[in-house]
Amino acid sequence: MKVINVNLNNKTHQLKEFIGHSLLCILCGVSLVQAQEITIDGDVTELEWSAARQFELEYEVLPARNGQAKLKTIAFLRFDKQFLYVAFKAYGDPKKIRATIKDRDTSWMEDYVALMADPYGDGRYGILVGLNAMGSQLDEKHTSTSEPDSSWNIVYESNAIFTDYGYSAEIAIPFSELQFPEKEIQQWKIGFLRKSFEPGVQTVFSSYKNEPGENCYACQADEIINLGSPDIDKRNYIYPYIFLNQDATRPVKNLKFQNPDYEIGISGLIDLSKSSSLEYAINPDFSQVESDAPVIMANQTFATSYPEKRTFFLEGADLLKSELGSVYTRSISAPLGAVKYINQSETNSIYFMQATDTSSPYLAAGEYSSYEGNAGKSRVTIGKIKKNLPNQSNLGLLLTNRDYHSGGNGSLVELDGLINILQDYSLELNFARSQTEEGYLNFLDTTDTFGSHTYQMDGEKFSGRAHNIRLRRVVEGSYSGLRHKDVSPTYRSSVGLVGKNNYKERSYWHGRTFRTDGTFRKITIHASKQNRLNFQDQKTRERLETRLSIETSSNINGVFEFVTKASEKFEGKQFGKQDEIKLAFEYSPSETFMLGFRYESGDQIAYRIEAPVIGDQKTQNIVAGIRFSDVLKINLHQRFTELKNKLTNEEFYGGDINRFELDYQFGNSLSSKLIIEKNDFQDNYYLESLLQWKPDPYTIFYVGGTQYYKKPNPFSDNLRMETSQIYLKFQYFYNPNS
């Protein structure tokens, strides 16, 4: 890797620039200082960017692996004391550019360009900051141990325009928005990325190669750029909010409206240094703008997870990820107040959070099902320290504790690590121990037991343990791995999502990938085997899976999967062989149309009936998106599932969830949405309408409503509103330093 100095304040560089451009400046009547000023309008002009460092995106990294890029892309880089400036010239057929006006972080499946950076240069994390060809902003954080996190947000300025050669884009990123080392001279690893659909398939071009064994693609940027000494402008963000709502219910006959209610609160972020920050929230509104998509739970016996979307919990979330599910921040459901500290030093990362929760979900894991209740008020503490090691490796220590006001507590300690060995191997380690002390106020409605303990709250004390060891090898064209994961019958996490315990799991997998320039651009063959025992050394499941994935040059992707369960034990009964096929298909010829289809059929245990048996299961999922213009789109989603008795053809369960969604974008920050949904499993109809204005990640205004409808009786064809809520929220982003 080479170190590049692009500092525009260097006197020698300024002198050469003055001599080279003096004649042009005289003829145009423009001073040199004016020539260096950049207007973020998307127009990449010679006058603004002639002194910038240029980079060509010469590699195709998807679907090819480091092949020759099929389209030309030039990236430009400049900086001053306050901003990092990036520009792109993306060459191609303007008619084949896939881009629309969208909300922030929703245009990942369109043409876009982005900066990739690793400010610390040690692979602890990387960032992506970019925009699509219509100016919709995109940013996310990359780590080696998880998928990219698009919930990570910063405030920056950007714009893009179409040109006769394709499109161009400009970005201005304030240094104050980013954490970086406490050094006078900043040297970051930087690279550039472009996604395009013009070659007939989702294609990614890059200025640097993609090594097969590395999950954190932004961390692979290989140009070390000397950015000089940026000004240390510390963030001091304050965002107060007001939330208004009115509910209505139908207890018997007439719909009864409650008195309007309101909430006020304040949150904020303070930079203590450029590597540490403090966030606080007082009576925060953690309601979500949009409801979670419904999950069909007709045959599920364990708790399910939903993505975290609440701003306060997003920064530093990458430090808390664990294969054991030790932290699930949505378990802090209604905090009265919270404070969080994050420090990213040269060698360590530190996370500390404390919150008071007024409505605490309680999750008790089991071998065949999980048990849920509400423990009321609690105090939550989470601490994590991670030591960064050479070769993008790390070791970490996690501590969590939850004290319930009704009595009892739960604590956990976990050691974790990522050890990269040579270039192809990585070893992931997690070792955890939990301690549970129950209170005497029972909120679990069950008489079930585990071992010598009960699930009811009766003052019992017990500890549990869990570990995860995963070794994987990834080289060009193939990958392999094995994992040992054990969770004891008494293991729990009071602030995590651990729904299943009492198992010892051994998994093995291998895959081969073939890449071509023909019709089939990428073909992957995957096989895996999983054996599971309980802690009494009884076999509870044996599973074999084979999968074929295909990506074509016509924007058609498909997956075929065959799964065999040689045996499975449930509620003490041993079941025989179960076979299942899965087929998925996606076609997206242009930005105006998308069709997705998924079908599953085969054997499955009916877990939630009194005497479980193996039945015939079918699941069908159809998604269609139709875009009428850059601002108007309709989404249609149909989900069907059923499980029938093999002998009598009697239906254990069955039904549809049909969803219609209409989206209209007034601009990149102003949007509206209408959702109509029919849910057979809840026997109701759902209506949601929303108008949202979000000019930056912290300024939010939305007004909307949700209503549930039902038929008043089985003989009626009319729908009657059963519940209703109308709401309005305004959160203002105030920066005293601006």
| Confidence band of 292 (pLDDT split at 50, 70, 90) | low
In angstroms, rounded to a whole number, what is the distance separating the alpha carbons of residues 333 and 287? Answer: 9
Strand 3-5 to 223-226 pairing: parallel
What is the maximum alpha-carbon separation in the chain? 91
Q: For 635-694, how does the pLDDT look when each residue is reduced to its tens digit (9 = 90+)?
A: 999 999 999 999 999 999 999 999 999 999 999 999 999 999 999 999 999 999 999 999
Shared domain for 214 and 317, answered yes or no, is no
Domain identity same for 321 and 444: yes
478 with 333, same domain? yes
Shared-domain flag, residues 118 and 205: yes
Q: Say how far apart CA 636 and CA 527 lie, in whole Å.
A: 33
In CATH, what number is assigned to the domain containing residue 217? 2.60.40.1190
Chain-wide mean pLDDT for the chain? 92
Which of 501, 524, 559 delimits the end of a domain?
Answer: 501
What is the tens place of the pLDDT at every residue in 330-362? 999 999 999 999 999 999 999 999 999 999 999
Could you give the CA distance from residue 75 to residue 52 in angstroms, rounded to a whole number? 9
Question: For residues 158 and 170, what is the distance between their CA atoms, to the nearest angstrom?
Answer: 6
Instruction: Pick the closest to residue 600 from 275, 289, 299 (CA basis).
Output: 299
Q: Is residue 66 part of a domain?
A: yes
Cβ–Cβ < 8 Å for 73, 113: yes
Distance CA 398, CA 380 (A): 14
What residue type is 135 in one-letter code?
G
Does position 290 have pLDDT exceeding 80, yes or no? Answer: no
Shared-domain flag, residues 69 and 195:
yes
Phi–psi pair at 33, nearest 5 degrees = -65, -40
CA atoms of 638 and 598, how far apart (whole Å): 11
* pLDDT score of 9 more than 70: no
Q: Do residues 230 and 175 make contact, with C-beta atoms less than 8 angstroms apart?
A: yes
Q: State the pLDDT at residue 31.
A: 33
Residue 366, strand partner residues: 500
Q: Which of 226, 248, 275 is the last residue of a domain?
A: 226
Asked whether residue 231 is assigned to any structural domain, the reply reads no
Asked if residue 213 is part of any domain, the answer here is yes
Position 308 scores a pLDDT of 87
The percentage of residues in the chain with a pLDDT greater than 70, rounded to a whole number, is 94
Q: Are 385 and 349 in contact (CB under 8 A)?
A: yes
Torsion of CA 457, 460, 461, 465, to 10 degrees: -70
pLDDT at 604: 98
pLDDT digit string, tens, across residues 400-458: 999 999 999 999 999 999 999 988 999 999 999 999 999 999 999 999 999 999 999 99
Do 136 and 47 reside in the same domain of the chain?
A: yes
Residue 466 · residue 523 · CB < 8 Å: no
pLDDT in tens, 570-583: 999 999 999 999 99
The reply to whether 613 falls in a domain is: no
Residue showing tokens 């089985």: 714
**Integer Cα distance of 415 and 385 in angstroms:** 10
By residue range, what is the domain housing residue 142?
3-226
Q: Assess contact for 321 and 340: CB atoms under 8 A.
A: no
From 1-5, 314-318, 476-480, 501-505, the region with the lowest mean pLDDT: 1-5
- 302 in the same domain as 167: no
- The C-alpha atoms of residue 206 and residue 204 are separated, in whole angstroms, by 7
Give the mean model confidence (pLDDT) for residues 149-170: 96
Confidence label for 14 from pLDDT (cuts 50, 70 and 90): very low
Q: Are 39 and 47 in contact (CB under 8 A)?
A: no
- Measured CA angle at 692 (ends 689, 698), to 5 deg: 140
Q: What one-character DSSP code corresponds to residue 32?
A: H
CB atoms within 10 A of CB 138: 22
Same domain, 300 and 444: yes
**112 pLDDT higher than 90:** yes
User: Pairing state of beta strands 556-570 and 408-421?
Assistant: unpaired
Q: Residue 716: is its pLDDT beyond 90?
A: no
Work out the pLDDT band at 106, boundaries 50, 70, 90.
Answer: very high
- Residue 216: the pLDDT is 87
Q: Is residue 236 part of a domain?
A: no
* Whether pLDDT at 65 is above 70: yes
CA–CA distance, 670 with 668 (Å, rounded to integer): 6
Sequence-distant (6+) residues with CB within 8 A of 447 are 454, 455, 456
Number of domains in the chain: 2
Look at residue 141 and tell me whether its pLDDT is greater than 90: yes
Are both 9 and 96 inside the same structural domain?
yes
pLDDT of 24 higher than 90? no
In a domain, 343, yes or no: yes
Closest CA to 340 of 327, 354, 326: 354
Cβ-based neighbours of 56, under 8 Å, separated by 6 or more = 72, 73, 74, 75, 207
β-sheet bridge partners, residue 475: 478
| Rounded alpha-carbon distances, angstroms, from residue 30 to 47, 268, 338 | 10, 43, 53
Closest CA to 4 of 239, 224, 259, 269: 224
Spatial contact of 245 and 211, defined as CB atoms under 8 Å apart: no
The pLDDT of residue 123 is above 50: yes
How far, in Å, CA of 158 to CA of 167, rounded?
Answer: 14
- Predicted TM-score (pTM) of the model is 0.90
Given 3-state DSSP classes, what are the helix, strand and coil percentages for the chain, each rounded to the nearest 5? 5, 55, 40
Cα 69 to chain centroid, rounded: 28
- Identify the bridge partners of residue 319 per DSSP, sorted by sequence position: none
Q: Are 398 and 381 in contact (CB under 8 A)?
A: no
CB atoms within 10 A of CB 547: 17
- How many degrees, rounded to 5, is the angle at CA 612 between CA 546 and CA 603? 25
Please report the DSSP string for 365-421 in residue order: -BSS--EEEE---EEEEEEEEEEEETTTEEEEEEEEEEEETTSEEEEEEEEEEEEEE
Mean pLDDT throughout 396-402? 99
| pLDDT at residue 285, rounded to an integer | 75
Residue 473's Cα: distance from chain center in Å?
25
Domain assignment present for residue 211? The answer is: yes
Give CA separation, 96 vs 90, 99, 318, 634, in Å.
Answer: 12, 9, 36, 21
Does residue 558 belong to any structural domain of this protein? no
pLDDT digits (tens, 9 = 90+) for 255-287: 899 999 999 999 999 999 999 999 999 998 766
Q: Could you tell me if 303 and 403 lie in one domain?
A: yes
- Please tell me the total number of residues recorded for the chain in this structure: 738
| Per-residue pLDDT tens over the stretch 525-557 | 999 999 999 999 999 999 999 999 999 999 999
HSE on the CB side for 160, CA within 13 Å?
A: 26
The domain boundary residue, chosen from 484, 501, 518: 501
CA 506-508-512 angle, to 5 degrees, is 165
Q: Which residue has the higher pLDDT, 606 or 144?
A: 606
Whether residue 191 sits in one domain with residue 319: no
Of the candidates 297, 441, 308, 452, the residue with the CA atom closest to the CA atom of residue 370: 297
Q: Which residues pair with 68 in a beta bridge?
A: 59
Q: How far apart are CA 268 and CA 355, in angstroms?
A: 15
- What is the distance of C-alpha 281 from the center of its chain? 23
The verdict on 192 and 331 lying in the same domain is no
Please say if the pLDDT value at position 714 is more than 80.
Answer: no
